[in-house]
Amino acid sequence: MRNRIKTKLLLLIVIIIIALASPFSAYAQRINMTYLYAGNTSLYINYVDRSNETIHIVCPDYFEIYDTGDLKLLSKIDEDFVYAMHERGVKVVPFLSNHWDRELGRKAIQNQVSLVAQIVSAVSQYGFDGVNIDIENLTHDDRNQYTSFIRLLRQSMPPDKSVSIAVAANPYGVYYGWAGSYDYKALGELCDWIMIMAYDEHYYGSKPGPVASSSFTENSLKYALKMVPADKLLLGVPFYGRYWKEGAAKGGSGITCYDAESLINKYKSTVTYDRSTQTAKAVVTIGVNDPKPTVWGGVVLGSGTYTIFYDSDQSLKYKLSLVQKYNILGTGSWCLGQESLKTWDFYKRWLNGKYYSDILNHYAQDDILDIARKGWMIGVSPDKFAPNRTLTRGEAAVILVRALGLENEAPAEYFSDTKNHGFRDLIGIARRYQILLGDGNNRFWPDRPLTREQMAMVLDRILVLPNPVKNNPFTDISQTKNSLSYDSILRLANNGIVVGDGKGAYNPLGIVRRGEMAAFMNRSSVFEMTYPAKRDPSIPSPRNIVSPR
């Protein structure tokens, strides 16, 4: 009996030791990995420090490949950088690149015995925490040999050093070409983590379009999850966009998100956000007499009109929310230093599903998170949602226009009291599509609170609800007292969107708060939404409305 107990105890100790030796045992949170490229030690340290302790793994550009397939160690390798990162609790995992050179990649995997020995030696010599393999542009013909290379690398690498890879996105599940060079299932068993390069949906030479639309990104994740464990997957996000110049024969060159936002701020520009693709699009015009900007890589942009597709803060938040949605290990990014400086104000919280610091234990917490993921409501600051703050009529217009996907439409004529308002365009769109109306005197009252009665009428206008009006469950509303809102309140109540105070009252004149609106909108999201094709038949003219609706 004692021998059995000793045996079990020894097994438990071995299991604990193995767990502690795991390359990711120290990470209780989601992992944030990023690549470092085309810089030096001081620049890289600066990039990491400005991320506000958000980064767990850096992959610097230290390894390349000789024409013989042997490992090329770049002179920029710096043990002081490794020490500086370890002091900050950041792991250093250099990436091995063939820079899209197919023949060079093939030389590497054909020379795998020597190359693996050289990589293992370099990792040990410089105190690296592992290696990341970023060999691209192979084909399905190289699939087995590439897998064999990764298998030998994992077998040869000490267990406390990580072996990871970057793989092509495969949203269409193809088995040929570059995407077909990766045996996802076998590689998922061998690697500590795999980063899906979920970008370059559009590229240099392609027609204009997003670098990584929502469908491209999610379909790439869904395909990978069929074969790779979720706790080994990193979603690759681009810290860059691509631009097309009007009149140019070819377009799609890369531009950093930092440079894109700089151009938007300095030159004549319009920015729109396509919720169907979760992508920002900027049209920037550089005049003949304007100073000519220099962007990443020393490229000088001449005069002309440029269309830029890039990931704005909103796009990035959407992608970070996918980490929670699919319960994957975390994210990787190409590449550090190209991001908007505002990125690190929210990245860590959104990566870990803690979007706002003031919603913990709030009754609408889950609804707020869902609505934030949809992009219908955003915080009042990078880390605050203000769930108990009064919702204004202007804010309600913004939320409803976003929910209907109309934010890029042209607005109607402004109300007399919204011409200088920050939400004037979205209020104008709400007016154009008859979602919210004014008081009949060309006033909207954008900063007045939205009442529960008004909220019910507005939601009733845009929802296609299956359950008809039945009995009235509320003691404080009636057809007589609430002639305009009565049916709307009951329709919403009979479809589970609104509830009373638990004592039989609806409180129609009570104000709506931001958290409450998030709950109403999230419950509404399961139903079909539309906008009135014409004015509500019961209200033949906005002039007949005597109070704000």
Catalytic residues: 136
Using N-to-C axis directions, what is the helix angle for 486-494 and 452-462, rounded to 10°? 70
CB 57 within 8 A of CB 26: no
Residues in contact with 289: Cβ distance below 8 Å, sequence separation at least 6, in sequence order: none
Question: By C-alpha distance, which of 548, 549, 520, 519 is closest to 532?
Answer: 549
d(CA 419, CA 42): 49
The continuous run of DSSP H or E covering 6 comes out as helix 2-21
Query: By three-state DSSP, how is residue 276 classified?
Result: coil
d(CA 545, CA 549): 8
Question: By C-alpha distance, which of 507, 475, 474, 476 is closest to 491?
Answer: 474
d(CA 63, CA 86): 19
Query: By three-state DSSP, how is residue 356 classified?
Result: coil
Is the alpha carbon torsion for 81, 82, 86, 91 positive or negative?
positive
Is the alpha carbon torsion for 295, 298, 302, 307 positive or negative?
negative
Dig out the tokens for 348 from the structure: 């860590």
d(CA 212, CA 216): 6
Residues in contact with 332: Cβ distance below 8 Å, sequence separation at least 6, in sequence order: 32, 33, 34, 35, 166, 195, 234, 235, 236, 237
- Exposure on the CB side of residue 190, measured as CA atoms within 13 A: 23
In this structure, are strands 330-334 and 233-238 parallel, antiparallel, or unpaired? parallel
Dig out the tokens for 437 from the structure: 């109306």
CB 22 within 8 A of CB 91: no
d(CA 175, CA 214): 22
- Exposure on the CB side of residue 287, measured as CA atoms within 13 A: 6
Cis peptide bond prior to 257, omega within 30° of 0: no
d(CA 64, CA 393): 58
Is the alpha carbon torsion for 284, 288, 292, 298 positive or negative?
positive
Helix segments in 112-268, DSSP class H: 112-126, 143-156, 184-190, 214-225, 257-266
The length of the chain is: 549
d(CA 469, CA 491): 5
* Burial bucket for residue 118 (CB in 10 Å: 0-12, 13-18, 19+): middle
Is the alpha carbon torsion for 86, 90, 92, 93 positive or negative?
positive
Count of other CB atoms within 10 angstroms of residue 76: 13
